[in-house]
Amino acid sequence: MSCLPWCTAPACSCRLPAPGCSGSACSAPSPCGCSCTCTSGPTCRWCWACGRATPAPRPGPATASSPSPGSTSFSPCPSPSPWWRRRTSTDVDAARSRSAAPPDTVIASARAGEPDRYLAALLAPLPARGALLALAAFSAEVSRVPLLALREPTMGEIRLQWWRDQLALRVDEGRTGSPVADALLAAVAEHALPREALLELIEARSRELAGEPPADDAALELQLWRSEGILFALAARTLAGDEVLPAAQAASVAAGQAYGLARLLLTLPLALARGRVPLPLARMEAAGVARETLLAGSGSEATLRLLAGLHGAARARVLEARRHVADLPREYRPAFLPLALVRSYLRAVERRGRDVLRRPAGIAPATRVARILLAHWLGRP
């Protein structure tokens, strides 16, 4: 029986290059799985697949008709199947990971709608990666509803109700017809994610669909918790299991406020262009800024003071979130990697010469990748 496709020796007597053989005595497994021993001198760069090499310098390959010179005895391969056909535990794990990998539709939706969480999911451990991508894709899908239903809010409510109905299903009840919904239900079942939290996220998008600004800071904080903080909490639960530390909950709340405020300021010109004012009415009244002034794009001193107050709140929240994340075990950290972009977002919003009400801000894709990679390498967002 041959051990290699190009080996015709009946008892695996072919010679193969010894990986890592430096010329001194060494022992390494051969590609066919048999023991390989090299005891030749400094010119030796070859090993016998199933025997002992002679001190001859660099002998040529053996043939099927002539046994290898200097070899003592040959043992058959330990397995009846060739080495290239064997199924190892690594192959089994790889097959399982491929079968559990989310479809391309889920990955594309997460990358397009939630690029920060998409990158963070790629840096998470493999068992949780699919669930994190499903959460990011779900957030991207429901976030698009208020944007696509500006003129017909009823159509948006129908779409959000469809998501509510899908969350009421079980995984064993069949496919929903949406790869994102199927991946989300699988993640909910595998990691015991609370469906009530996902329903709160849908409720946040429903309020955005109505177009009414939050009444005060408390209403804004509730909206940011539902739209951003819940995603941090679900990601932490996915990575850590059923038992979530109190510090993880506190970090999720602060991270949702900081990250949500940064994204709100980043996309404020787009929201105003759609006729929506996402700023709290109490702050606007205290600053003396009317809703019509913001919609008209008038950047007065009062408007700048109003936005400066939100900037300060975001910076304070990100410091609080980082303190909580520092108290968490390292396995929680990938859930909070998007926090690494808050300061970059705020610097982009504060860039000199930019019209804060008319010109959307943003960062370069390379900056996004570099910030998240650096935060992952350092172990802190």
Same domain, 207 and 225: no
Task: Tell me which of 363 and 21 has the higher pLDDT.
Answer: 363
Which of 180, 211, 242 corresponds to the end of one domain?
Answer: 211
Q: Tell whether 347 is covered by a domain.
A: yes
Same domain, 251 and 197: no
What contacts 368, CB < 8 A, 6 or more positions away? Answer: 115, 116, 119, 341, 344
CA dihedral 170, 176, 179, 185 (to 10 degrees): -10
Number of domain units in the chain: 3
Does residue 294 surpass a pLDDT of 60?
Answer: yes
Question: What whole-number distance in Å separates Cα of residue 230 and Cα of residue 253?
Answer: 8
Q: Tell whether 227 is covered by a domain.
A: yes
Question: What whole-number distance in Å separates Cα of residue 79 and Cα of residue 83?
Answer: 8
Task: Tell me the range of 29-33, 97-101, 209-213, 229-233 where mean pLDDT is highest.
Answer: 229-233
Q: Tell whether 89 is covered by a domain.
A: no
CB-count burial class (<10 Å; 0-12, 13-18, 19+) for 69: exposed
Q: Tell whether 367 is covered by a domain.
A: yes
Q: Read off the pLDDT of residues 104-132 as tens digits, 9 standing for 90 and up.
A: 899 999 999 999 999 999 999 999 999 99
Same domain, 363 and 256: yes
- The domain that holds 227 is classified in CATH as 1.10.600.10
Report in angstroms the alpha-carbon separations of 15 from 117, 259, 328.
51, 61, 54
Same domain, 110 and 203: yes
Same domain, 243 and 199: no
Q: Read off the pLDDT of residues 156-211 as tens digits, 9 standing for 90 and up.
A: 999 999 999 999 887 666 677 889 999 999 999 999 999 999 999 999 999 998 88
Question: What whole-number distance in Å separates Cα of residue 272 and Cα of residue 91?
Answer: 53
Question: What whole-number distance in Å separates Cα of residue 9 and Cα of residue 105?
Answer: 50
Question: What whole-number distance in Å separates Cα of residue 368 and Cα of residue 342?
Answer: 10
Q: 32: domain range?
A: 15-55
Question: What whole-number distance in Å separates Cα of residue 68 and Cα of residue 9?
Answer: 10
79 — pLDDT class (breaks 50, 70, 90): very low
